[in-house]
Amino acid sequence: MLRRIAISCLFAALPLSAAARTRPHYGGTLRVEIAGDAWQKGGLARRLVFDGLTKFATGGAVQPALAIEWQSENNNHRWQFRLRPSVHFQDGSPLTTTDVVTSLRASCAANCPWASVHALAYSVVFTSDSPMPNLPQLLAEDEFLITGRVAAEGNASHGPVGTGAFQVSGFSNGVLALAASDTCWEGRPFVDAVEIRVHREVRDQWLDLSMGRADLVEVPAEEMRIAQQQRLNVVSLPDAELLALEAGESGAWSNQNLRSAIALSIDRAALANVIFQKQGQAAGSLLPQSLSGYAFLFSAERELNRAHELRGGLSAPPLTLAAEGAGAMQLAAQRIALNLREAGFNVQVTGSPNADLKLRALPILGNAPAPALEVLLRAAGQPQTVSADNPAALYKTERDILERETLIPLLHLPRAWASSARVRDLKLRADDSPDLADASLEVAP
């Protein structure tokens, strides 16, 4: 009998011990290493320190953040976002609608999705002459994160102030130290602190990860296969960004045939299979198949003969091509230059920001195609309201955009991070940033 009781107790305790092992622990410092700057647009620190009025959930849906609810009126010409009460900045000052309006006006001086933004009691009101059907998704963008008032004189060393889960605690020797904010409206994060080492080469990041000196490092798309071969803990977000070529529309490039010839000259398969090591998908459309459902209708094949025909012996002026970023982006730019030379274009890769052609990685955010397309176009510097409410209309919109050949899609690429074994519950948000507020660290035995 006792034996049965003991065995029963043992089986009863097994789920409890499993639950205890999976329960997140508070405390510890999460060490992150990145190649870029923490405060640049889309930088990790911005996502940890600041919040937007809305945010993307892990699955890509828009959900409330600093705004608890919103509603549109007048056929999406007017939006009213009600502010979450009792939210405080990390310096203790309360978040007000005036702070939100000031921050939004400061972050968007021109080409804003709205015509005006103003505070109305506990709400922030956006108005525009044209409809703004995707405003909640747009406000979840990094560009519209709400930053706090400028630190008072003498307290400038405290750095930027926001309402996020972490607050700046210091910066030294290339390491930005963030401390968990106890007053965060979402609740205190599990880790006590996050240390972000900036401007770290990817290979060095991986070395630090393998040596236990880092907990979270970046994994560029072209390195994902190696990361998997090395059995790293990789969390990735497929189709997180679009590799695209921006072409001007003025001067010698007013001839659309030349732009079409460029689009047809590029060997996307070689880019995807070799340079990005089969981690990307050749793209003929702006939105990926997983998001739009119609991407297969746009051809991503290389048609060199057709490109020659379109060029028709036109002598294009010498072209310059610049790529954002380093590594695979530069290599891709060189490959594109080679492809274009085959088609009769004299192309030179340059570092100049005023190049004729620009190779860029554009974000694909959220799980809704129309807002994602509008966000993408906005990031590409070609802002356009996308108000299609069905796939056919969206297809037509995208086709119209692509026929201009000013934005030539090349690849849909994933974004990935690799973490150490002690990091638990790490997820990527729809904006491909790691959600560190919900991550925790294993307690050392």
Q: How far is the CB of 412 from another protein (least distance, A)?
A: 18
What H or E segment, with its residue span, contains residue 205? helix 202-210
Q: How far is the CB of 236 from another protein (least distance, A)?
A: 19
118 in contact with another protein (CB under 8 A): no
341 in contact with another protein (CB under 8 A): yes
346 in contact with another protein (CB under 8 A): yes
Q: How far is the CB of 73 from another protein (least distance, A)?
A: 53
Could you please report the per-residue DSSP string of 362-390? EE--SS-HHHHHHHHHHHTT--------S
Q: How far is the CB of 309 from another protein (least distance, A)?
A: 15
Longest CA span, the chain: 95
Distance CA 133, CA 124 (A): 17
177, 193, 331, 402: residue in contact with another protein (rule CB under 8 A): 331
Closest to another protein by CB, 172 vs 354, is 354
Task: Lay out the site mask for another protein across 269-308 (x = CB under 8 A, - = otherwise).
Answer: -x--xxx-xx------------------------------
24, 342, 383, 402: residue in contact with another protein (rule CB under 8 A): 342
**Amino acid type, 434:** P
Q: How far is the CB of 355 from another protein (least distance, A)?
A: 14
Q: How far is the CB of 206 from another protein (least distance, A)?
A: 15
Give the phi and the psi of residue 170 in degrees, each rounded to 5.
Answer: 165, 170
Helix, strand and coil in the chain, % to nearest 5: 30, 25, 45
Q: Which residues, other chains included, contact 422 with Cβ-Cβ below 8 Å and sequence gap of 6+?
A: 215, 441, 442, 444
Q: Are 407 and 246 in contact (CB under 8 A)?
A: yes
Closest CA to 113 of 132, 129, 100: 132
170 in contact with another protein (CB under 8 A): no
| Tokens 């004729």 sit on residue | 356
349 in contact with another protein (CB under 8 A): yes
- The span of 8-16, 207-215, 346-354, 367-375 binding another protein (CB under 8 A) equals 346-354
Distance CA 312, CA 238 (A): 39
Closest to another protein by CB, 24 vs 344, is 344
Task: Lay out the site mask for another protein across 58-97 (x = CB under 8 A, - = otherwise).
Answer: ----------------------------------------
Q: Are 168 and 176 in contact (CB under 8 A)?
A: yes
CB atoms within 10 A of CB 154: 7
Structure tokens at 430: 């729809």
225, 422, 424, 427: residue in contact with another protein (rule CB under 8 A): 225
207 in contact with another protein (CB under 8 A): no
Closest to another protein by CB, 107 vs 334, is 334
Q: Which residues, other chains included, contact 237 with Cβ-Cβ below 8 Å and sequence gap of 6+?
A: 414, 415, 416, 428, 430, 432
411 in contact with another protein (CB under 8 A): no
- The span of 150-158, 165-173, 327-335, 415-423 binding another protein (CB under 8 A) equals 327-335
82, 84, 335, 412: residue in contact with another protein (rule CB under 8 A): 335
Closest to another protein by CB, 42 vs 327, is 327
Could you please report the per-residue DSSP string of 6-20? HHHHHHHHHHHHHHH
Q: Are 327 and 335 in contact (CB under 8 A)?
A: no
Q: How far is the CB of 230 from another protein (least distance, A)?
A: 13
At residue 5, the 3 state secondary structure works out as helix
Residues that bind another protein (CB under 8 A): 225, 267, 270, 273-275, 277-278, 331-332, 334-335, 337-338, 341-342, 344, 346, 348-349
